[in-house]
Structure 1
Amino acid sequence: MNAYFKPEGWLCDNPENIAALSSLAGLQEACAQGRILEARAIICDSAHNLIVDCGCIRGIIPKNECAIGIEEGTTREIAIISRVNKPVCFRVTEFRRGSDNNTYAILSRRAVQQQCIETYINNLAPGDIIDARVTHLEPFGCFVDVGCGVASLIPIDAISVSRISHPGDRFRTGQDIRAVVKSVDSYGRISLSHKELWGTWEENAALFHSGETVAGVVRSVEEYGVFVELTPNLAGLAEPREGVRPGQQTSVYIKSLIRDKMKVKLIIVDNFDAQYAVTAPPYFIEDNHISHWKYSPDGCCKLIETVFE
């Protein structure tokens, strides 16, 4: 039995997955082996069963097998409806002949999610760095698929050190990211963070030098100055300037980088309205686990850190 516990959509182009969907014999073999497959849900019928394009035939995921919690009433039906025209993972449980004399594969997504929680998610530890896919964005945070459609939330204040007004300032739906596990409860619910992956103050400050003029984004405007973001984990304070609004693009002159106070002093050269695509900078951490992260430099007057226990 395979154990592929990645966000939904990662398995679709896998050669073994494609081969299994190419023939009835392939699906029957996958059924016998208990393999996890993926295909696109094309219809949610009036009874909230999902109809899946299994290549050679159609598959049906009965309503209560569409997701963990549907049968118990703890998961809303929007979790089913929102899967239409998107990949879903499943295990083939049996084959039935319908009233139209066609053969249908009966599928279970819930069984795959349950296995994912029991053998993958429940074995995660604080500090583990995992793959995730952004599913939707809310003002309070970013929802991600951490494996087989199992959802988790990255709170807005855990996305980056530099403050943002909405997760859409950082991510887009469908984007593949990494996240850090903060905790896992007995129900398989994960608490996640993300800001640690974008590096410390020193790592980000090393990308810039005094005397340079660089690109930035206005994050907030205060009476005493304008906060301009240079990277997701580094922002500086520019002198007050009229007509500046949060969300505007800027070009800023770097006056100084003050390590012991974690300050970047800036002068706004220009500010303007523009919509640029959200592109994620590279992560500073490429390992699969982190036990401790300290954003602030040694000897700094302020301590910002995360300890994963």
Structure 2
Amino acid sequence: MSEETLQGESAAEPLVDPTAIAAVQAAAKAAVEGTANAAVEPEVVDPLDRLYGAVVNGRFAEVTRNGVLFDIGDDQQALVDRLEFGDFTPTKVGETYKLLIDSRRRGVWTASHHKALALAVWDQFQVLAKSGGTIQGKIIAANDGGLVVDVGARGFVPRSQIDLYKVDDLDSYVGQTDTFRVLKFDARSGDVVLSRRALLEDALSVVRAKTLEKLEVGKKYEGTIRRVMPYGAFVDVGGLEGLLHQSNMTWGRESTAALLKAGQTIEVIVLDWDEANNKLSLGRKQLEEDPWEQLSGKYKEGDVVTGKAVSVAKFGVFVELAPGIEGLIHNTELSWTDRGNDTKRITKGQDVEVKIIGIELENRRLKLSKKRLEESPWAAFAAEHKVGEKLTVKIARIADFGLFCVLTNELDGLVHANDISWTEKVNLKDTFVPEQDIEVQILSIDAEAGRVGLGIKQLGDDPWTLAAQIASPGKTIEVTVARIADFGAFVTVAPDVEGLIHISQLSNDRVERVEDVVKPGQTLEATVVSFDLERRRIGLSLRSDAIVEKVEEEAIPVEDEGSSRATLGDILPASLMKGVKPEEAKAKPVKAKKGKKARAIEPEAPAIEPEARASEPEAKEDAPADEPQVGAAESSADESAKESE
């Protein structure tokens, strides 16, 4: 029943069963006056009580700040919420509207127009709500929660029930006439909840069923974009919603938002259909020719090309040579001299000239270089200088691991901390200052990597070379006690070279305290028991039965040609063979292993000079702060001696 029909009815005509109205009025009166036990006192009847719950004809008076005001007779007025009228607020004074009177406050009644209309179609809405029936109505207003619809009464469509997909612009629906399903009708409040989405889903299920019958992986379909997300777009393909992931949109690097818009119709290909989980995967770039398949005929190594920087990362710059074809300029290929910092001078979108230095079609990778467009200054340096050459250079900067020195206006070389001194640990920042001139020797030149290794200690002779001539194993030499420790005595073997006499090697007898046997400055005759040039360690002994460490080929006699077996009697000295029967000594041969040394019975206590120069100095300013440097002889000797103990 339309609103016009209801407004045209006479005020005297009952809209609902008079008995029902009388029952509502009686209940309202009992609630207001609390007359559950009214028989106790005489009833006082207010003539206005008849208005509670009554449907009356109200004549429009005016629109106030609090609502729409109507005259309802007997000098009474009723106020109706303006939202009930939406965009159709009454304007003609005296125009009649049906009102359901609710309550009275401060001399003014509150009423509802849409509830009065709902009463007129009460039975119809109850039937439709129970059966899920449909009704036609006109959308008259929109708010944040949804749409207001005139269906002969005031109906409401929640936002979630408007469409199959998220709706942002509700105002675009206002003024449209559509069909809705009645989800709920509250007889007490007169509220009607409607759904537009339910009818759309019914229609969609029919379309979806037809699509599933002909859906095939690898087949092309036309779809409509419903939602665009940062990672891809959701596309409706014949009632099925599938995901077109960003990685399958284009061979290039364009963003999703730049390529697609909601509502756009596009052609896609089905990549996968997971019926169990109802997941549809779609592709778009697969409909285009793969640009990498044409790469072999278009580019080759050594080509100089121009591309556009599409991404600048910490490790390098990605350059697009053609749509869908990108290559990487690694930091090491940006500049010969300013490694890594050149990325700061390249911005996204900038045209960059590069040289192709590598093509990996299987992995879809292009290796590009910017620095190789120019001649390498390192190659020029390598052509002019050679390893072993001596130079005078200026210190550019001091790092924890070495000294960076100026070679040319563009190039620096590195004196590693291990190449400062043969014997001492040097505090670089206390010993050197920037801009200081020093003499160095070129140790290595790596033009490809852009590195030149320099050394200071190599300008002089290695004192350990001289020590090796003096302190050969088995030789008795004169030494001077330099200092003593709990585990032994450090003695001077040669200038700047020390060895260790372990506490177990100070005497044939057991020694409790080192200072009971030797004193600093004391000169001794000691036997060299071991010499390790590589590890910079010399072990000495004051024992009369000192066992000298020898290479096994020398220590173990060979009986026959090709034989490498010896007995315990051949290896151990006579003093340690007491109590061992001759037959036992011969019965237990020991197989010699190449490269091994015969072990001394007493623990080895070699002196230590823990300096191990890096064979290839790393000329990198970003080397770790804890780069190993020349170690103190005493600390390393301590560690070795404790191991021996």
TM score, norm. by length of structure 2:
0.26
TM score, norm. by length of structure 1:
0.49
1 or 2 for the larger relative contact order (CA 8 Å, sep ≥6)? 1
Greater helix share, 1 or 2?
2
